[in-house]
Structures are given as structure tokens and as C-alpha cells.
Structure 1
Amino acid sequence: MLSDHQGAHLMRVLVTGATSMIGDFLLPRLCQAGHEVIATSRKEHPPQQGIQWLRLDLSQPGALAKMGQVDVWINLTSLSLLRPAAAHMAESMGISRLIAFSSTSKFTKADARSSMDRRFARELKKSEDWLEAFCAEHGIHVNILRPTMIYCRGRDKNVTTILRFIERFGFFPLVGGGKGLRQPVHAEDLAMACMQILEHNQLPSRGYNLSGGEILSYREMVERLFAVLNRPVRIVPVPLFAFRWAIALARLLPGYRFLTPDMACRIMKDMVFSHQAASRDFGYKPRPFQP
């Protein structure tokens, strides 16, 4: 682990996408550390002690034109939204450090059956490549963080969706035996990663894969969710074609419209990534799967 800490160096920190589940855990930690926090949301946000809330849409040209000087920018929203703000990032804002979230979907969806998924993976890579080149050109230190499946009970679209399905129907359909490996990461651990990065001023400009502290099969993950709900495990094996058809039907229900039939194929695929570099460089230590 690198040992050069910024310690008591307090900074003006901009957090975009601050109403996300990671933001829920990050903002209070930034305030507790004594940093000056500017948080943005596309909607009006009630006043909050220690945080300056701004209504801001990054997709709009000139959204950050009047932001003023910022030491660090932590972006919790889409990487693609950084490009319109690039000019202000380098000039009027004077940013020296940037922490931006991407996703390991850059790798897992690169060879997906779905053209939409493959396009998403290409866009992630394109955005990462552009951001790294831009920051290198303008002397901005950048760390791109790629989480695996993010969860936070009641907030995410993965674990929470499974929990709600089990609560509603009392069973869960599974294709291919659910053998694909997963490494879910809690949103709070990602917020802690941001804080740890801020404490190290000698980190290299690079990307880090941030996975959870436990590797388990998709089936084991679902079984643990039954246990959380104190329900008997009722997993129904389903052929791939039937599972894809069921997902297509589920999309008609409120709360399930983000599902795609190709998600069935990913259940059988391993999505495991080492976070050894993050542990070595800034002490990243995620919890085991605790829904």
C-alpha cells in the first residue's frame, strides 16, 4: 500500500450524481472529514448541513460554467456526461484530481449476444480512453473505478429486484443451475474507496477494478437472499428459452422494465474480478456479501 497520505489537507470536492446509492454513503463521510462539499442533482434537493446542493444537469452545455474552483471532482454518474464539461474541468474549475466511476461491464458485455450490451461496453471503453487521454493532456490526476455488481438493499436494480420477486412470488426461476460466479460489492464499500483514494496523494493515474469481498455462484447469492427474507429456498430450474420468455413478460410489470432477455445468458457467465491492485495501492477491503 502506498503510504503518502494527504491527512488533514481539506479540499473543495464536487460530487456529481450525488443522489445515487454511493452518494448516500459518500457525502456524510466527506463532511465528517471536513471537506467543503458541493453536491449536484438534476432535481431540487432539500438543504443539508455541510453540503452545498446545486440543481445541475451535466448533459446540458455549460452546466459547470459558473462552478468556480474545485480541487477534486468525484463523478458518480455516467462517464459519457464528462465530455461536455471537459473545457470547464481543465480551465475555470482548475481541478487537480478526478475520481470517476465506470463498470466491469466494459469487459463482461464486450462479447455479449445483445448488440445493445456490446454497444454499451464499447461506449464505456471509448469514454474511459477519452477521459484518460484528456486528463493526461491537462495534468489532471484521474482514477477510474470499475465496480462489479453494486448492491444496497432497497436501492439497487440487482439484489433488490431478486428480493422483491421472492417476496411477491415465493420462488425464483434460475437458468443453467445458476453456476455463474459473482462478486457483489456494497455501495458503502465504494464510497469508502473514494475516501481512501483521497487520502493517498501518490496514487498513479489509472483504473481500478472494485469487486466485493466474496465470490459466490449466482445460485448461492439467490439462496442467501431467501435466508435474508426468512423464506424457504424455492428455486425453480428453467430452460434458457423459457427464462428469456419469462423476462420478456416480466418487463410488462412496473419495476421490472429494465430487464432484458439477454440477462438470462449472463446468469451462466462468470463475472469475477481481482481487486488486488486497489487493496495494495490504497487499502481497499470490501465486505463479504451481506444483503
Structure 2
Amino acid sequence: MDDKHVGVLGATSLVGACILRQLVSEQWQISAFSRSPVQSNHEQINWAQLNPMSARHDQNKHGPAMWICIAPIWTLPEHFPLLRTQGAQRIVVLSSTSRFSKAESSDTGEQGIAQRLAGAEKTIKIWAEEHGIEWIILRPTLIYGLGCDKNISEIARFILRFGFFPLLGSADGLRQPIHAKDVATACILALQTLNIKNRSYNLTGGETLTYQEMIDRVFSALNKRPRFIRIPRGLFQLTIPVLNRLPRYRHWTAAMAERMNRNLVFDSINLQQDLRFRPGSFILSKADLPPE
């Protein structure tokens, strides 16, 4: 596993794009896989469209020994044959702390997500160890960055559209947002730290702040004075179905509002020590916000 050749699954995602940029800057050769065709002539990146026939097409091709998967973790098992035929020896997989934070959600859909995450982690561990493949699972917290995440960018879009942000109660639940670039750095460090294997880590940002403080910083980054409307829980539950009629807010749930007052804080000290990784604080640049 000494040559700098890596396979990347989910390469067109937010974190995937950050990973590709870092790998290119570090002179890696990359086999990048995506479900949709990608037109690119970069000399360090070889793109391939991912499909159920991928493994059959590559039966005689020995690929990279090292892999990073930032596609949804529950999709990875369908690509086990591809990894085997490519000769995978080590893989870093992105999961989520949602496997813990959504396990007891009031929303059954969110409970299902937590179960899928936990089930996929277990399946991957068993499969990898059966085939002698080293694995590292990273569970990031709230990912943001580059104006196209599904967390901070969605909040910013709401503020830009309506001029305020609704809060449930005091909104004092703690958060540890992490930038997509830091997630990418952690993935690459985990791939290269060969003395660490078969471990799972929580991956948090470098700062802990309350939910309201986090939204305050979004207002500040948008050069707007914070304007909150505090809504009782019952009214919030009535408001959500109205928001769900708008395509962008179709996935919003009452459970998301309830978590404003829950601490979603995780210990990542082992990861920081093992990988010598120091995530940044929650700082929003103009590039991290959606266009106005």
C-alpha cells in the first residue's frame, strides 16, 4: 500500500470534491467513481461511472489498494464485489453521528436512518474482516461548507428568503459543526495512518457552541442582524406541514426543531490523538454561504 493510488466512491459529493482537491495537491493518482457520468480530463483523476455491473467490467483490472467511501454508507455493500476485484486492502468509510443522535428521535423516518447507519457499519466491519481488508469508520457531526451543504447552507437560505429564523424554546442545545474540508483532511489522514486499523471514530469540529450561537454566526456571515421568532412546540408541529409544501423544506421535521434544545456533543479526542488532527473552529466565509 505504498503507491499513491486511491479509489474514491461518492466523489461528486461535497466532501468528495474536497477530498479530490486535497488528493490532487498531494500528488495522488485517483480512481473516482460516481453514479452519474463526469466529464473531466484531469491527468491525476480517472473517472468511472458506478453501476451494478462495475465489478464485472473490471474483473481483469487490478485497481487501487486504498479506498475512501463518502457515498451514503448503506450503499457500500452493493459495491463489495468491485472492491474485491480491484484488490482493496484498506478503506476509510464516512458514516455519521446521526446513528446515535437520531436513534431515539420522535420521527420514525429518522429512527430508520439511525438503524441503517448502525446496520451498515456492522455489515462493513464483518465483511472487511472476513476478507482481510483494513477499515476505518469516521462519524462526522454537522457538516458545513462551500455553500452547498444540507445544514448551515439551508439555514442561510431560509434567512435570506424570510428574514428571520424560527427557534424552539431557548435553542441552547450544543453543537460541534465541522467544515467539509476538515472532514476531507481527516479521511486522508485516516487512509495514510497505517498503524491504525479497524477502528471507529467520532469526528467533530474544533468548537462547541449552542444552536442559537450557531445561527447567530450565520446571520453575522450574511451581514444581517439576528432576528429570531420563538415558536411553542405545538405551533412548530403545525407549521412544519406548511413548510413541507415547499420543495426545499420537504425534509424538515418537528424532530429537527426538538433537537435545538438537545446536546449533540461527541468525544473525538481519540481521533485527534491517533491521527494528529486538529479541526478548525466554526468560521463562515463568504464561500461557505449560498448565493443571495
- TM-score normalised by L of structure 1: 0.92
Q: Deviations over 1:116-139 (max 9, x none)?
A: 111211111111011111111111
Give the Cα–Cα distance (whole angstroms) in 2 for the partners of residues 189 and 19 of structure 1.
17
The answer to whether the Cα contact below 8 Å between 1:11 and 1:71 also exists between their aligned partners in 2 is no
Structure-2 residue corresponding to 1:162: 155
Unaligned runs of 5+ in 2: 285-292
Cα distance, 1:208 vs. partner?
A: 0.8
Q: Deviations over 1:262-284 (max 9, x none)?
A: 21111111111111011110112
Structure 1 residue aligned with 2:136, among 118, 143, 159?
A: 143
- Using the TM superposition, name which of 243-252 and 170-179 deviates more: 243-252
The answer to whether the Cα contact below 8 Å between 1:10 and 1:36 also exists between their aligned partners in 2 is no
Structure-2 residue corresponding to 1:3: none
Structure-2 residue corresponding to 1:190: 183
Give the Cα–Cα distance (whole angstroms) in 1 for the partners of residues 87 and 218 of structure 2.
46
Give the Cα–Cα distance (whole angstroms) in 1 for the partners of residues 102 and 82 of structure 2.
32
Cα distance, 1:243 vs. partner?
A: 1.6
Q: Deviations over 1:24-71 (max 9, x none)?
A: 1110221222221011222221214121111223xx3x3333343221
Give the Cα–Cα distance (whole angstroms) in 2 for the partners of residues 96 and 109 of structure 1.
32
- Using the TM superposition, name which of 175-184 and 33-42 deviates more: 33-42
Cα distance, 1:257 vs. partner?
A: 1.6
Higher helix share: 2
Structure-2 residue corresponding to 1:55: 49
Give the Cα–Cα distance (whole angstroms) in 2 for the partners of residues 130 and 198 of structure 1.
20
Give the Cα–Cα distance (whole angstroms) in 2 for the partners of residues 66 and 12 of structure 1.
20
Structure-1 residue corresponding to 2:214: 221
The answer to whether the Cα contact below 8 Å between 1:153 and 1:159 also exists between their aligned partners in 2 is no
Structure-1 residue corresponding to 2:71: 77
Structure-2 residue corresponding to 1:234: 227
The answer to whether the Cα contact below 8 Å between 1:181 and 1:216 also exists between their aligned partners in 2 is yes
Alignment of 1:1-291 (within 5 A): 9-49=2-42, 50-57=44-51, 60=52, 62-67=53-58, 68=61, 69-90=63-84, 92-291=85-284
CA RMSD of aligned residues (A): 1.5
SS at match of 2:54: coil
- TM-score normalised by L of structure 2: 0.92
Give the Cα–Cα distance (whole angstroms) in 2 for the partners of residues 152 and 88 of structure 1.
31
SS at match of 1:145: strand
The answer to whether the Cα contact below 8 Å between 2:55 and 2:82 also exists between their aligned partners in 1 is yes
The answer to whether the Cα contact below 8 Å between 2:6 and 2:67 also exists between their aligned partners in 1 is yes
The answer to whether the Cα contact below 8 Å between 1:148 and 1:210 also exists between their aligned partners in 2 is yes
Give % identity. 36
Cα distance, 1:158 vs. partner?
A: 1.0
Give the Cα–Cα distance (whole angstroms) in 2 for the partners of residues 32 and 65 of structure 1.
32
The answer to whether the Cα contact below 8 Å between 2:10 and 2:33 also exists between their aligned partners in 1 is yes
